[in-house]
Amino acid sequence: MNVKLPEFSLFILLVLHAQLSESYPKVVIASRDGEPYLLCQYVPPMDSTFNLTLTKGNKKQEVCMVYTDRKNTTFYSWNDKPTCNWTTSNDNSISFTLSNFDIKHTDNYTCEIRIFFPPPFRSVIINETYVYIHDLQQCDGMQVFIIWILTGLAGFLFLCCILTFCLWSQNRYRPKTAQNNTQNNECNSEYMPMASVNPAKRPIIPRL
């Protein structure tokens, strides 16, 4: 089983970005079997005619849309996957959620509102969200194996650094220790080194 490390690194970066994002995050991390994710939320003005559309990619492929003409509200969905649903809240806000993702659904999603009434016509992008669909559960075993290998390699290099430092320290201080021991032995010896003494000449006594 192959693990693409660049994609795994990209996943980590996207996770960090999503954690640092505020409301309406620009990045959403989703799994194939994960929970639905809110991508659109809009509170329409009273007595207005509009459509709220969720599009995918740079080509603005329509995923789902809600259209209301002040009397009736109609929901349209053009893709089986991901599943797009819409809900209304007590404050009359309309929300889009997506679920049942696949890896191919990783893309940029745009939420756009078009207001037809009251005039003038307006088209406003509410938010853009990059949805990243990961499938890391298929290679969890291999990733754990790689993590253990990297951890073991790091530990081995750390031990090598410690042993190298110990050997270097031992070789550095060994000559000084040997020299100090030699000097101590000379000072503690019972026999002191003395200079050689020439024997005195016997005096000559003259005969009487």
Reply yes or no on whether the pLDDT at 1 is more than 50.
Answer: no
Q: 55-94: per-residue pLDDT in tens?
A: 888 888 888 899 988 788 888 888 766 788 888 877 777 8
Whether 100 is in a domain gets the answer yes
Instruction: Output the CA–CA distances (angstroms, integers) from residue 161 to 39, 50, 60, 86, 172, in the order listed.
Output: 51, 68, 56, 60, 16
Same-domain check for residues 21 and 88:
yes
- State the pLDDT at residue 148: 76
Other CB atoms within 10 Å distance of the CB of residue 154:
10
Cα gap 200→187, rounded to integer Å:
31
Residue 179 lies in a domain: no
- The DSSP-derived string for 127-168 is EEEEEEEE-GGGGHHHHHHHHHHHHHHHHHHHHHHHHHHHHH
Calpha distance 139→194 (Å, rounded): 83
pLDDT value of position 20 = 40
155 in a structural domain:
yes
111 lies in the same domain as 49: yes
Residue 109 burial (10 A CB sphere; 0-12, 13-18, 19+): buried
Both 153 and 128 in one domain: the answer is no
Which CATH number goes with the domain that contains 28? Answer: 2.60.40.10
Same domain, 117 and 17: yes
Query: What per-residue confidence (pLDDT) applies to 181?
Result: 56
53 & 73 share domain: yes
**Do 143 and 76 fall within a single domain?**
no
**Of residues 124 and 199, more confidently modeled:** 124
For the chain, helix (H) and strand (E) counts, in that order, are 2, 9
| Structure confidence at residue 38 (pLDDT) | 72
Quote the longest CA-to-CA distance of the chain.
166
User: Given this model, what pLDDT does residue 3 score?
Assistant: 43
Tell me how far apart the alpha carbons of residues 201 and 142 are, in angstroms, rounded to a whole number: 98
**Domain membership flag for residue 54:** yes
Number of domains in the chain: 2
What letter represents residue 99's amino acid? S
Share of the chain above pLDDT 70, in %: 60
Over residues 100-115, the mean pLDDT reads: 85
With respect to residue 53, please indicate whether it lies within any of the assigned structural domains: yes
| Mean per-residue pLDDT, 111-138 | 82
Q: Is there a domain that residue 207 lies in? A: no
CA distance 22 to 197: 98
Pair (68, 10) in one structural domain: yes
Q: Does 60 fall in a domain? A: yes
**Does residue 192 lie within any of the structural domains?**
no
For position 142, what pLDDT does the model report?
60
105, 154: one domain: no
Host domain of residue 95: 5-134
Q: Could you tell me the two tokens for 16?
A: 């960090």
Residues 47 and 149 in one domain: no
Residues 49 and 84 in one domain: yes
Which residue did the predictor score with more confidence, 46 or 156? 156
Do 98 and 119 belong together in one domain? yes
